[in-house]
Structure 1
């Protein structure tokens, strides 16, 4: 007898994943998986290459914070190139799960992955009692007006080293200032719908 009308069974499925390639440093050429949730935009290889050329004087030994981590491309690249630590923050459970898997795969014990909304995590820091970060990666969802509040909270909560370097990706049409006055624009590029900006914080002490 044919099986044309046989009832379909519910077969468990695993989460779909995509892959990205680490392009420099200790793990150069390694491929890791990420969960392609809606709105996630891994920073393209050519942009990462440009960014880490900009960051070359700062990356060795740096304590990094990767906000809206998504694929983890920037934080993983930083670890591969000699960063001392990276703290990843993302609210999506499947993203967090995959980031932890990738760190285990890479046998990396220099990173922490936190599941939380970025604004909530920032707002709950205790000013003056937190790790200060040398490099910040920030790639918020577009059209949500998150970049400027995050920049303000990084300052208010005392999370930035004296001369921290802050990298921000935003939609290219966003023309409003997102950074405090003492964050000096160091590099900027646009590619399609994305603007890439690198700021260097002026020591206020």
Structure 2
């Protein structure tokens, strides 16, 4: 696993030990970031269900100013800290061991807003419609913010609504689906 592009292009990242996480492949990461960026001019990223932190780190490498990483598993939190330290990115990041729902509530209490939200939960464990509605309701999304949802291809994600437009729904390798939304 590595950083695909930007300031830290080619740098290796550690994976979370064990089988509790499913890292986003370099191929998927490259294709998705080409679609949503490919580069950013500042901004804030929220990487929920962060695992190793590779998606949030990729966003910083491509120009995001700051990223908040959230995962509830201790091994993931340890791996995120190791990856941030190896790239000297601690000043660009906050890392929290928390449930994703509690984390977004805490972010709302701090009046934080994001330009990019990365959702890569364990497949079948999150109701995306509820989660997307909560991000909007809690006012966590800046205008034109992008939401990345990685999911099992069999999962059907919500269509566009008054707050979010579905930009893209792509199948990668037959089993991995990526759906992108934009705040309108």
Q: Name the Cα RMSD after superposition.
A: 1.8
Question: Counterpart of 2:98?
Answer: 116
Contact kept, 8 Å, 1:64 with 1:136, in 2: the verdict is yes
Displacement of 1:165 after TM fit? 0.9
For normalisation by structure 2, the TM-score amounts to 0.90
Q: d(CA) in 1 for partners of 2:159 and 2:82?
A: 33
Contact kept, 8 Å, 1:64 with 1:85, in 2: the verdict is yes
Kindly report which structure 2 residues correspond to 1:131-170, keeping only aligned pairs within 5 A, or say none. Answer: 131-170=112-151
Q: d(CA) in 1 for partners of 2:124 and 2:133?
A: 18
Question: Counterpart of 1:194?
Answer: 176
Unaligned stretches of 5+ in structure 1? 1-19
Q: d(CA) in 1 for partners of 2:56 and 2:131?
A: 18
In structure 2, do the counterparts of structure 1 residues 124 and 111 end up closer, same or farther at CA, with 3 Å as the change threshold? Answer: closer
Question: Counterpart of 2:156?
Answer: 175
Q: d(CA) in 2 for partners of 1:126 and 1:183?
A: 18
Q: d(CA) in 2 for partners of 1:167 and 1:31?
A: 23
Question: What SS is found at the alignment partner of 1:135?
Answer: strand
Question: What SS is found at the alignment partner of 1:114?
Answer: strand
Contact kept, 8 Å, 1:147 with 1:170, in 2: the verdict is no
In structure 2, do the counterparts of structure 1 residues 111 and 98 end up closer, same or farther at CA, with 3 Å as the change threshold? Answer: same
Q: d(CA) in 1 for partners of 2:81 and 2:75?
A: 10
In structure 2, do the counterparts of structure 1 residues 46 and 139 end up closer, same or farther at CA, with 3 Å as the change threshold? Answer: same
Displacement of 1:147 after TM fit? 2.2
Q: d(CA) in 1 for partners of 2:142 and 2:39?
A: 12
